[in-house]
Structure 1
Amino acid sequence: MQNHNLPTDELKNFGIINDDLTFSKKLSPDDIEKFLRGYTIVADNDKNRATFQLTENSTKLKVIFLERGMSLSKILASSKEKVQYTDIKKLSSHNPLIEKKAFIFDMETGKVVEFDFITNAKELTAIIADKKEPEELNRYKNELQKLKVFLQDKAKKFPEIAKEISKNLNIVSREIDSVNTIAADQKHISKVGNSEIQLNVNDHGMYEDANRSREEQEDPSEECEKTRGFKR
C-alpha cells in the first residue's frame, strides 16, 4: 500500500482492505486509484447504503450510512417496466440529507443505470425527454419539485450551509424550467401533428418531418462522484 497514513483499522473493519493490507478484490484498480484521490466508494445492501471517503490527507475515513426508500432488488426489477425514483436518506437533527435517484433500464446493454438528480441533472433530463412520454415527464417534474421543497426547507433550517445548498437548488430549479419548456414543445408538436391529419392527402408539399437531437452532459463534482463496482 502506497500511503502508510491510511486509517487501516477502519478500512479493514468495513472490508475495503484485507488483513495483508491489500485492497478488496471487489474494487478495480481504477476504483482504488480514485478512492486514494478522495473520490467516494458506495456500498449497497438491499435498502441500506454506505459511502466511504478518505479525508484530511487520507488519514481519516468519512463514513455515511443511508437508507433507501425501496429495496435495491425491487428497484432493479421494477425499472424494467418504467423509470424508478427513490430517495436515499440520512435523517438527523443536524444537516439531514436526501439523495434523489432515478433508475433507468438501458435496453441496449440490458443493465439498470442509476442517475443522481444533482450530479447527472442534464443527462437525466435529456433521457426522460427523449422518451417523449408526457406522463413520465410529469412524474420526473414532480420528483424535481419534491427535491426543491426539501432543499428550500433545509436552507432555512441550516443558514450556515445555505450557500452550499443554493448551488443544488439552482440546479434543480434549472431542470424544472427545462422540463416546462420540453413539455410545452412536445404539446405544440402534438397539436401540429393532430392538425396535419386534417390536411388534404393529395397535398404532400404541406407536410414536414422534423427531427431533433439533443446531447448534453455535466461533469459531476469530485465530492459527489460515485465509484462503481463495490457491493457489500
Structure 2
Amino acid sequence: MQTNNLPTDELKKYGIVEPDNSFSKKLSAEDIQKFLQGYSIVADNKKNRATFQLVENNNRLNVVFLERDKNISAILAESQERIVYSEIMNPSKRDSHLNFEKKAFVYDKETKNVVEFDLVKNALELTAIIADKNDVSETNRYKIELQKLKSFLQDKIDQFPEMAKVITNDLNIVSKEINSVNSLTQNQNNLSKQQQSDVQLNVNDPDLYQDANRIRDEELEREENQEKSRGFRR
C-alpha cells in the first residue's frame, strides 16, 4: 500500500487533507488508517451524500455524489423514536441497478449513536436487531421495506438482464430475510394472542364468574348463620 503518492490536491479540495498536508482534524487515527486501506469516507449534508475512496494503489481519489430521499438531520432526530428507513440514489446512474440503496438508521441507546445499516449488506444483523426489539409494529414496518426492495430488484432483473446475476444475489438475500421476518411475525402474533386470551380468561370466563358468585353466596350464608347463632345465645 503506497501513501507517498496520494492525490493531495484532490484531498485538499474536499477538506480531507489540510494545507500543511496533514489529515483533517475531523478524522480520527482509525478513520485515516481505514481510508488508506481502501475504506470510504462518507460525508452527509442535508439530503446530499458524498463518498471518498482511494483507488489504484492510493494514487487516485474516487468521489461519488449521492442523493437521499430525506434530510439527514430529520433522520437522526426521528431515529431516537423508531427505526428510520431511507433511500439513496446516484443521480448520475439513473439507468443502473447500482443507483439505489435502502438504508435503516437505528439509535443505539448504549452508545447514544445512530448506526446506519444497509438492508442487503447488513441484512442478517438488521433482522437480529428487529427480532430483539420484539415489537410487532417495528417488525411489520421492516417487512414492508423489504417487500418494496424485493419488488424493485425484481423489476431491475427484467430491465437489465446483463446484470441479472448480481441483482439475483441481492434478491435472494432480501427474500431470505422476508421469510425470517414472516416467522418472527407469526411468533409475535401468537404471543400477542396468548396474552390477550389470558386477560380475557381472567375477566370473562363464565366458570370463574360463577365460582366467585358461589363463594360470595356461601360467605353471606355463613355470616347469616353466625348472626342467628349469636341471637339464639342471647
- Normalised by the length of structure 2, the TM-score is 0.77
Give, as a single letter, the amino acid of the residue that structure 2 aligns with 1:44: D
Gaps of 5+ in 2: 206-234
Question: Is 1:57 matched with 2:60?
Answer: no
Describe the SS at the equivalent of 1:126. helix
**When you count helix as a share of all residues, which structure comes out higher?**
2
TM-aligned CA deviation for residue 94 of structure 1: 4.0
Give per-residue Cα distances to partners, 1:192-231, cap 9 Å, x unaligned: 333444379xxxxxxxxxxxxxxxxxxxxxxxxxxxxxxx
Aligned equivalent of 2:147, options 131, 140, 145:
145
- Normalised by the length of structure 1, the TM-score is 0.78
Following TM superposition, where does structure 1 have runs of at least 4 consecutive aligned residues deviating by more than 6 angstroms? none
Question: Is 1:123 matched with 2:122?
Answer: no
In 2, Cα distance between equivalents of 1:184 and 1:59: 52
In 1, Cα distance between equivalents of 2:16 and 2:164: 34
Change (3 A) 1:77 1:6: same
Describe the SS at the equivalent of 1:164. helix
TM-aligned CA deviation for residue 104 of structure 1: 2.0
TM-aligned CA deviation for residue 137 of structure 1: 1.1
**Structure 2 residue aligned with 1:156:** 158
In 2, Cα distance between equivalents of 1:20 and 1:121: 42
In 2, Cα distance between equivalents of 1:60 and 1:155: 32
TM-aligned CA deviation for residue 97 of structure 1: 1.4
In 2, Cα distance between equivalents of 1:56 and 1:94: 26
Give the fraction of aligned pairs with identical amino acids, expressed as a percent.
Answer: 57
TM-aligned CA deviation for residue 88 of structure 1: 1.2
Give, as a single letter, the amino acid of the residue that structure 2 aligns with 1:142: I
In the TM superposition, 1:163-178 aligns within 5 A as: 163-178=165-180
In 2, Cα distance between equivalents of 1:75 and 1:93: 24
Describe the SS at the equivalent of 2:158. helix
**Structure 1 residue aligned with 2:37:** 37
Describe the SS at the equivalent of 1:140. helix
**Structure 1 residue aligned with 2:208:** none
In 2, Cα distance between equivalents of 1:30 and 1:123: 23
Describe the SS at the equivalent of 1:102. strand
Give per-residue Cα distances to partners, 1:174-208, cap 9 Å, x unaligned: 111110010011122223333444379xxxxxxxx
Q: How many residues align?
A: 200
TM-aligned CA deviation for residue 93 of structure 1: 4.1
Question: Is 1:66 matched with 2:46?
Answer: no
Describe the SS at the equivalent of 2:61. strand
In 1, Cα distance between equivalents of 2:161 and 2:60: 27
**Structure 2 residue aligned with 1:132:** 134
Give per-residue Cα distances to partners, 1:68-103, cap 9 Å, x unaligned: 111111111112222211111113344251221112
**Structure 2 residue aligned with 1:189:** 191
Change (3 A) 1:20 1:150: same
In 2, Cα distance between equivalents of 1:159 and 1:52: 30
**CA radius of gyration, larger in:** 2
**Structure 2 residue aligned with 1:211:** none
Give, as a single letter, the amino acid of the residue that structure 2 aligns with 1:147: L
In 2, Cα distance between equivalents of 1:24 and 1:130: 38
Q: Which structure is higher in RCO with an 8 Å CA cutoff and minimum separation 6?
A: 1
Gaps of 5+ in 1: 201-232
TM-aligned CA deviation for residue 115 of structure 1: 1.8
In 1, Cα distance between equivalents of 2:130 and 2:94: 35
In 2, Cα distance between equivalents of 1:117 and 1:19: 39
In 2, Cα distance between equivalents of 1:171 and 1:27: 33
